[in-house]
A and B are shown apart, each in its own frame.
Chain A
Amino acid sequence: MRDFFSAYPKASGRFDELQDASGRIRPHWQTFMEAVAASRSEQMRRRLNHVQRQIFENGVTYNVYADPQGTVRPWDLDLLPLIISPEEWRHIEAGVRQRATLLNLILKDVYGEQRLLHDGLIPPALVHGHSGFLRSAHGIPSPDGVYLHLYAVDLARSPDGGWWVLADRTQAPSGAGYALENRLVISRVFPDLFRQLKVEHLAGFFHALQQSLSHWAPIGQSGEPPRIVLLTPGPYNETYFEHAYLARYLGFPLVEGHDLTVREGRVWLKSLEGLQRVHVILRRLDDDFCDPLEFRADSALGIPGLAQAARLGQVLIANALGSSLLESSAFFGYFPSLCQHLLGESLRIPSVATWWCGERAALEDALQKLDGLVIKGAFPQLRMDTLFGADLSPRERERLILRIRQRPYNYVAQETVQLSQAPSLERGGLHRLHARAMGLRVHVVASPEGYVVMPGGLTRIAGDGDERVIALQRGGASKDTWVLSHTPVSTFSLLPRSFHARDIVRGGANLSSRVVENLFWFGRYTERCDNTARLLRMTINRFLEDASFMAGPEEPQPYLLALCRVYGLLASAAQAQPAASGELSSPPAEPAHSAAPRSRDSLKDALVAGLVDATAHESFAAHLGYLTRVGFSLKERLSLDNWRTLNRLTQALEEQRILQGQEANLGEALIFLDQAVNALMTLAGFAMDGMTRDVGWHFLSLGRRLERLQFLVSMLRHGQVEHRPKLPREGKTTRIRREWSALEEMLELADSVVTYRSRYMMQPEALSVLDLLVLDDTNPRSLLFQLHMLREECRHLESRFGGTFGAALERMQHLLTQQNFTQILTDPESSVFGDLLETLWRESSQLSERIGQRFFSHVPEQRTGT
């Protein structure tokens, strides 16, 4: 026992959560610490392992840098909770509730009457100088005057034991989900102590959140059940895990901006079933990103028209638009008087001493004490780093003072709080207790009866060494927070319900349009990568084998080069057209849009660029880039193996890029392409064998088949060479003769060489090759096979969602299965097949568009002609 405490430092100049000034364990920690100290070390190790396993299995992460390659850090959770006595908690609870009430009234005023500004109780600069004051949000109604539905406050304890507010989180406070996750893990590690100590449960808080949002949902007279969604900026956000976790726990669909649309002043969720009304948006998206029409025009994350829907009272946005305003600590100095004015009470928990330099007296005061203060930007748009007065050199200090005097209203000066210390256990030394600086984030939710405080919260501890800054971005850890009770605690739980809740982003036909759209494109891009890899591989092979494989600008292009052009693989980056929609920009028969490489060397460079140039629009590298991006947004749905395969391929391509950048080496390129074709086959295999056949899978399959069909069409279209008679005699119709060339190449591109050899054991011949590539419906790479599969997929959509999609393709399927079609294929005088290929291209492109309009963007189909 003594050994266990030996490393725990006595607090000097700071408050100690665990021990009092004389070194005695505080009463509310006694039971817990005695039990922990008495635990055998292997028992503690088991507990720690359990924590780590839980974190890993639940996938709890905090994205340290918003990086698509996934620099996600596992959540760091300390084994020991912070323990708070019932008496202490009553004080915190009352203070935090009061502050939430106060801040809400201020928001209500600023976005409404602005009495506080008119009466001079808030200096105008704090509102008009703050980028978070959204003028468009002024006058948007909020039911019952509630603007702040969720609120969180960062508390710290000063050396005298009093609590201080460090920061207000008024926009879209994070942390409640992590607090919940921490609780589920830690309460299972100490189940007996948890019960014995009568720790307050958290479920009531989340229940209140559900109830309140339902209560205020603008369902009108309809009586329909309110639909509440959780709006996330997406998987790149640093707290995405929490968004997904809370959404599942609360039973709210997790949506991104693209999932929602505004029509007739109402908000709708785009689902496969069509548009579904959304009444409440619990948002984790920043204010100014919410509506590109009225706020930041460059926001790709928002929903155009959302602010108008809110203005019409057709959707409740929690928190109200514009609520980030009060996150500025420049307001701190005004809260005591505002509290008196608005609530007739004095502020229960003080804010850390703060001088807003826009007030002349405060400015002089702050400059006097600069050395002991922290200097920050008063408004978020200033993006200023926090400066510690004590760290400044005399010159820096002078320059800072000059800057402050130029525009004093942009600065606040703040006292630093000597943070209290709490006990912690380190991974390396479970038998020793350490001390870490800590802060506590407490969450509050609005309810019709007033604000409800979560009994607990997210305790954060500083990393070793830096005790001035607690930031998860900087490597701190977190703790569960145990609020003790004298009376029996409510054991109400949301868990059983929440995990069975219908999560519409995951389930059946309620699948969100964005998810299926991404699956569709995942299918298309996997196939497109595969096709381009095969095409490049074969072209490079021929280039290496055949020293004369080169066509000057006037000579006819070799078949493979012509096809490479259609796929943009020989286009220099500057000339290529953007394929913004993801559709190939050129139809198959259209002539190439880039100049022909004039020498073997330039062709070699063009081929290498077609492989590794990620800045081109249609290179292999570009397609793989699209695939990775689409894959990333499907992260929640794709298995880890998919990811690994894709990541390995991306890495290998990156190595190729570096290697080829030093010196173009086609041999290396071939080795890579073999690897790439394998990896893409593996991805296709996962889709075939590893995915449940839900609606989403059908869209993936549809994308894949469409892409393959189009590749086959291009391939066949270029395989037929037209010969025009040189001098058409008068009175006679000109006969164009068509001949098939490049049979061998087509066989190989369609991966059908082995099948062909096993059947025919001879050199490729037009009739047999075309039969295999066009009409053989047992060959998974034949034209007819794609049509069969597409018809199946279309029928599936039709029977499930109504409408017709595959009618045109079905007609062509019938045409191909006619008795005499084999003859038509090889008839040099028939243009039937050539025409059919063109129709197929057109119809397949239209199908892709129709599916997009119907299921992804929900645009009513334009009816033309019949």
Chain B
Amino acid sequence: MRTLYRIVHQTEYRYASAVQLSRQVLRSTPRNTPFQRRLRHFIRVEPQPSEWFERKDFFGNALVQFALQSPHQSLLVEITSHVLVRSRNRLQAKLSGAPWEQVRDGLQQGTGTPFLDPAQYLYASPHVPTTPRFAAYARPSFTPGRPLLEAVYHLSHRIYQDFRYDPTATNISTPIETVLRKKRGVCQDFAHLLIACLRAVGLAARYVSGYLLTHPAPGKEHLVGADATHAWVSVYCPEAGWVDLDPTNDQWVDQEHITVAWGRDFSDVSPLRGVILGGEEHELEVRVSVQPELSTAVNACPHHGEGTIAG
């Protein structure tokens, strides 16, 4: 099964006073992976930037650094992507496999080429501390001898059950210790939390940013712009490579997630990050629309009839 998506992602800043200089880093180009292919991709920035540098970052994400050097009152960045996503349907194979301790010991002691990729995601990072508190939360899922992915899914499922989705509870600078205490947050918090727990028990986990096809409530039209950017987790499994799962929606990632970038945590993949001179207060509006253009089969997620949660 394959689905072709058309994604429009708009970010608009309106400033209280003119911004004199602005320098931004944009990471919003969907990656090519074994499960998805970027067919077309446009970036529109208004006003027109005076500098434009494209490159790939350390994790292989495409990025653009651009600058605006004349006074402006607003900034619009619009990314249009056409991405073909195919099903990862290999769930059965994943759930059996090596016990998690074996994977952990291999990762912790391994050196040389095969370990370099997962080793990047074993340690604490700016948004992800690995204190014993997270290991303690993870512990009940990591029973001796349990196959890695079974344990990981169990943990992710517990997060889904124990935590409430609440966009008012946190913001980007809320430490995940607070999230763990309050038991509330959004996709980014749950992804960070799952990563912290996995790293705290010695496993490799990375943060994936992207888009999610959301399902309208029954009888409602799919609204353009009502979607949001999303984040989930990828865990390293020696047999299967990186396996993605979405703690916010309690599911393995299949063909409704469109991968944009990955890194150790949000700080490595933040879609638009910039430094401005002037501007004072600003208003920010982000509009995302994910439209399946052509699909061999798009079916609603069975256990989420009321709609999936993005963001």
Interface residues of A (CB under 8 A from B): 114, 117-120, 122-125, 128-129, 135-136, 138-139, 261-265, 292-294, 297, 304-305, 308, 311-312, 360, 381, 406-407, 409, 580-581, 853, 857, 859-860, 862
Q: Does residue B255 face the partner (Cβ distance < 8 Å to A)?
A: no
Asked if A406 and B122 sit within 8 Å, CB to CB, the answer is: no
Leading 7 A-B pairs by shortest Cβ distance: A124-B119, A135-B58, A120-B112, A120-B111, A304-B275, A129-B123, A859-B20
Asked if B122 and A294 sit within 8 Å, CB to CB, the answer is: no
Residues of B within 8 A of A312 (CB): 53
Q: How far is the CA of A125 from the CA of B204 in the complex (A)?
A: 12
Asked if A118 and B58 sit within 8 Å, CB to CB, the answer is: no
Q: Does residue B162 face the partner (Cβ distance < 8 Å to A)?
A: no
Which of A119, A305, A409 lies in contact with B67, CB distance below 8 A?
Answer: A305
Tell me the residues in window 245-283 of chain B with beta carbons closer than 8 Å to chain A beta carbons. 268, 273-275, 277, 280
Asked if A304 and B23 sit within 8 Å, CB to CB, the answer is: yes
CB-based nearest A residue for B118: A124
Majority-rule SS of B interface residues: mixed
Asked if B58 and A136 sit within 8 Å, CB to CB, the answer is: yes
Question: What's the minimum C-beta distance from B176 to chain A, rounded to whole angstroms?
Answer: 16
Asked if A138 and B120 sit within 8 Å, CB to CB, the answer is: no
Asked if B21 and A135 sit within 8 Å, CB to CB, the answer is: no
Q: Does residue B135 face the partner (Cβ distance < 8 Å to A)?
A: yes
Residues of B within 8 A of A139 (CB): 58
Q: Which bracket fits the contact residues of B?
A: 35 or more
Known contacts A123-B111, A293-B25, A406-B135; A264 and B51 CB within 8 A of each other: yes
Asked if B123 and A125 sit within 8 Å, CB to CB, the answer is: yes
Asked if B25 and A360 sit within 8 Å, CB to CB, the answer is: no
Q: How would residues 232 to 253 of chain B score, 1 for a CB under 8 Å from any chain A CB and 0 otherwise?
A: 0000000000000000000000
Q: How far is the CA of A292 from the CA of B67 in the complex (A)?
A: 14
Asked if A128 and B119 sit within 8 Å, CB to CB, the answer is: yes
Q: Does residue B225 face the partner (Cβ distance < 8 Å to A)?
A: no
Residues of B within 8 A of A308 (CB): 53, 65
Question: What's the minimum C-beta distance from A783 to chain B, rounded to whole angstroms?
Answer: 28
Asked if B21 and A859 sit within 8 Å, CB to CB, the answer is: yes
Asked if A305 and B23 sit within 8 Å, CB to CB, the answer is: yes
Q: How far is the CA of A860 from the CA of B273 in the complex (A)?
A: 24
Q: How far is the CA of A859 from the CA of B268 in the complex (A)?
A: 30
Residues of A within 8 A of B57 (CB): 135-136
Q: How far is the CA of A598 from the CA of B59 in the complex (A)?
A: 62
Q: Does residue B169 face the partner (Cβ distance < 8 Å to A)?
A: no
Asked if A381 and B111 sit within 8 Å, CB to CB, the answer is: no
Q: How would residues 96 to 127 of chain B score, 1 for a CB under 8 Å from any chain A CB and 0 otherwise?
A: 00000000000011111101100110111000
CB-based nearest A residue for B120: A128
Question: What's the minimum C-beta distance from B74 to chain A, rounded to whole angstroms?
Answer: 15
Asked if B273 and A297 sit within 8 Å, CB to CB, the answer is: yes
Which of B69, B112, B274 lies in contact with A293, CB distance below 8 A?
Answer: B274
Q: How far is the CA of A114 from the CA of B57 in the complex (A)?
A: 16
Tell me the residues in window 16-50 of chain B with beta carbons closer than 8 Å to chain A beta carbons. 18, 20-21, 23, 25, 50
Asked if B111 and A293 sit within 8 Å, CB to CB, the answer is: no
Show 10 A/B contacts (Cβ-Cβ < 8 Å), sorted by A: A122-B111, A124-B115, A124-B116, A135-B58, A264-B51, A294-B25, A305-B23, A857-B21, A859-B70, A862-B71
CB-based nearest A residue for B125: A131
Question: What's the minimum C-beta distance from B103 to chain A, rounded to whole angstroms?
Answer: 16
Asked if B116 and A114 sit within 8 Å, CB to CB, the answer is: yes
Q: Does residue B229 face the partner (Cβ distance < 8 Å to A)?
A: no
Q: How far is the CA of A102 from the CA of B137 in the complex (A)?
A: 43
Q: How far is the CA of A312 from the CA of B108 in the complex (A)?
A: 36
Residues of B within 8 A of A311 (CB): 55
Q: How far is the CA of A581 from the CA of B110 in the complex (A)?
A: 54
Residues of B within 8 A of A261 (CB): 21
Which among A122, A135, A138 has the greatest number of chain B C-beta atoms within 10 A?
A135
Residues of B within 8 A of A293 (CB): 23, 25, 65, 273-275
Residues of A within 8 A of B275 (CB): 292-293, 297, 304
Residues of A within 8 A of B113 (CB): 118
Q: Does residue B132 face the partner (Cβ distance < 8 Å to A)?
A: yes
Not counting A128-B123, A292-B275, A311-B55, a sample of 11 additional A-B residue pairs whose C-beta atoms are within 8 angstroms of each other reads A122-B111, A124-B122, A135-B268, A136-B58, A138-B58, A264-B50, A293-B23, A407-B130, A409-B123, A859-B71, A862-B71
Question: What's the minimum C-beta distance from B30 to chain A, rounded to whole angstroms?
Answer: 21
Asked if B124 and A381 sit within 8 Å, CB to CB, the answer is: yes
Q: How far is the CA of A338 from the CA of B59 in the complex (A)?
A: 27
Question: What's the minimum C-beta distance from B128 to chain A, rounded to whole angstroms?
Answer: 12
Residues of B within 8 A of A265 (CB): 51, 53
Q: How far is the CA of A53 from the CA of B279 in the complex (A)?
A: 50
Q: How far is the CA of A292 from the CA of B270 in the complex (A)?
A: 14
Question: What's the minimum C-beta distance from A95 to chain B, rounded to whole angstroms?
Answer: 28
Asked if B268 and A862 sit within 8 Å, CB to CB, the answer is: no
Residues of A within 8 A of B55 (CB): 311
Q: How far is the CA of A360 from the CA of B105 in the complex (A)?
A: 11
Residues of A within 8 A of B274 (CB): 293
